[in-house]
Amino acid sequence: MKFALFYEIPVARPWSRHSEHEAYKNVVAQAVLGEQAGFHSLWTVEHHFLEEFSHCSNPEVLYGHIAAKTSKLRLGYGVRLLPKPYNHPVRTAESVAVLDLLSDGRVEFGTGRSATRAELEGFGIDPKHTRAMWTEALQHIVGCWTNDEYSFNGTYWSMPRRRVLPKPLQDPHPPIWGATTSLEGHRNIGRLGIGLCSFSVGLPPESFKEKVDEYRKGISECEKPVGKFMNNQAATFTMVHCANTNEQAFADAAESMVWYPKVGARQIASLSDWMHGRDLGNYAYAADVARSRDAGTLDQIDFDYIRDSGAAMVGDPDRCIEIGERYAASGCDMLFCLVNPYKIPHKAVMRCIELMGEKVIPALSGR
């Protein structure tokens, strides 16, 4: 099992003029240490308008900066939003290629379609079109990367024959991944022959097995990958904090590890509120989250549950290894480690990364 650093880049209130500056500088320092500690890669989200929760709206600039400060750490889009007008397929193909060249071929290309009202409404996107847009955009991006000249005439984008430059360094292109929440989506990701970016926040590691099984079914049904090769890897992300003692880890992380799943769930529920009375289609899970919110279930989430169920990897190295073993047993190929869900202090995050590298990653890398 491989380990990756994963970031939303939250900025907790109250804000000062330097809050965002400090948050980004901290991520860079943690990335450099993460490479030294043996993390496989660093991934960040692309989110818009999500105050406090994520101030990471243009991560490509960050990736380029981290690429210049590291030499082995792979750089993952976690994820690039593909629906129109977030990012045009040609601009995506160009941008990913530039990063791949500058990083000496270290890009992992994660993709997604968005799932919050703030973002979809903010960009004027009809949720019922996002999956079709995502699928079409993927095809155009691969076409731009792998053809000397390329043209397309799709439902959402068209381009006359052009030579899209530059091309990525990785041949034929960087590994492609897709993010999903629903069981149906997991199977669909597999059918496309791309890597799985799943979610385990607020859930015990064993809950991932059903999702992996659906993904593997999809992989077995894949007749022709959307990319030029099959990327058969299953990844999920969870909150992670490792400290010298269990007591220290729990004290550092308790507030953030309760705040993050509650706020994240409410962001998803907002999509159901916005689409009230309309068919949610493949966003039906948002209605389930909204019902949980309205029933008060979200308010019942506490740190005791998160800690005791293994819904976060939190504790001393031995405890983190034990929880990691549960992820490995569930079929996880790569664990995305959300090391700062909200406001765990930078010094504590740095110590977490050190301990993961010294104790946890070596113990689990062969699982």
Is the confidence at residue 125, as pLDDT, over 90? yes
Q: Among residues 118, 125, 138, which one has the least CA distance to residue 179?
A: 138
Share of the chain above pLDDT 90, in %: 93
- Cβ(69)–Cβ(31) below 8 Å: yes
Average pLDDT of the chain to the nearest whole number: 97
What digits encode the pLDDT tens for the residues 134-155?
A: 999 999 999 999 999 999 999 9
Q: Among residues 118, 285, 325, which one has the least CA distance to residue 186?
A: 285
Whole-model pTM: value is 0.97
Domains defined along the chain, listed by start:
2-292+303-364 (3.20.20.30)
- Cβ(332)–Cβ(235) below 8 Å: yes
Is the confidence at residue 274, as pLDDT, over 90? yes
* pLDDT tier for residue 329 given thresholds of 50, 70 and 90: very high
For residue 365, what pLDDT is reported?
86
- Cβ(322)–Cβ(198) below 8 Å: no
Is the confidence at residue 34, as pLDDT, over 80? yes
Share of the chain above pLDDT 70, in %: 99
* pLDDT tier for residue 102 given thresholds of 50, 70 and 90: very high
Q: What is the mean pLDDT of residues 313-330?
A: 98
Is the confidence at residue 335, as pLDDT, over 70? yes
Is the confidence at residue 96, as pLDDT, over 90? yes
Give residue for tokens 């190295």. Answer: 317
CA dist 61 and 54 (Å) reads 16
